[in-house]
């Protein structure tokens, strides 16, 4: 966990607490269907966290999942996250998540438009 603050025009960072990935039991995104940066990390106790943005929260969860798969291969629970954005093999996966969210909305809107123009027999 990193503490961030500003002194005049300088930004300062201080490592406040460290954990081992092997001790992480679960990551709880709190609400999968809302755009919020808050999540909980469950170790021997629950830590409430806030990411810089919702996209960075998902990037963090994806990174932890990949590190777990690569090194520990244990069952890491990731709950209350939209699975579409957690999987790198997803059609919506990219480094530019905001663009892809807009693209996904446009895709659904286009499908609705096509369906509304279809004639019913």
Fold assignment, 2-92: PH-domain like (2.30.29)
pLDDT attached to residue 91 = 52
pLDDT in tens, 9-56: 898 888 888 999 999 999 999 988 888 899 999 999 999 998 888 888
pLDDT value at residue 48: 93
Q: Look at 38 and 96; give whichever has higher pLDDT.
A: 38
Parallel, antiparallel or unpaired: strands 26-28 and 38-42: antiparallel
Outline where DSSP puts E strands in 9-96: 10-15, 26-28, 38-42, 46-50, 77-79
Domain-wise residue ranges, the chain? 2-92
Query: Distance between CA atoms of 47 and 19, rounded to whole angstroms?
Result: 11
Instruction: Name which of 71, 75, 72 is nearest 26 in CA terms.
Output: 75
pLDDT score at 67:
93
Contacts of 28 (CB under 8 A, 6+ apart): 39, 40, 41, 42, 79, 80
Query: Which has the higher per-residue pLDDT, 94 or 109?
Result: 109
pTM: 0.67
> CA-to-CA distance for 87 and 84, rounded, in angstroms?
6
**Which of 96 and 43 is assigned the larger pLDDT?**
43
User: Is residue 88 very low, low, confident or very high in pLDDT (cuts 50, 70, 90)?
Assistant: low
């Amino acid at each position: 966990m990193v503490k961030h603050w500003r002194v005049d025009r300088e930004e300062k960072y201080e490592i406040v607490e460290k954990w081992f990935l092997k001790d992480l039991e679960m990551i709880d995104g709190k609400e999968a269907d809302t755009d919020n940066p808050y999540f909980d990390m469950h170790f021997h106790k629950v830590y409430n966290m806030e990411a810089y943005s919702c996209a960075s929260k998902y990037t963090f969860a994806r990174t932890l999942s990949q590190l777990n798969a690569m090194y520990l291969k244990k069952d890491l629970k990731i709950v209350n996250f939209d699975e579409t954005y957690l999987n790198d093999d997803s059609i919506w996966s990219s480094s530019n998540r905001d663009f892809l969210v807009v693209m996904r909305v446009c895709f659904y809107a286009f499908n609705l438009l096509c369906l509304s123009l279809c004639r019913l027999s």
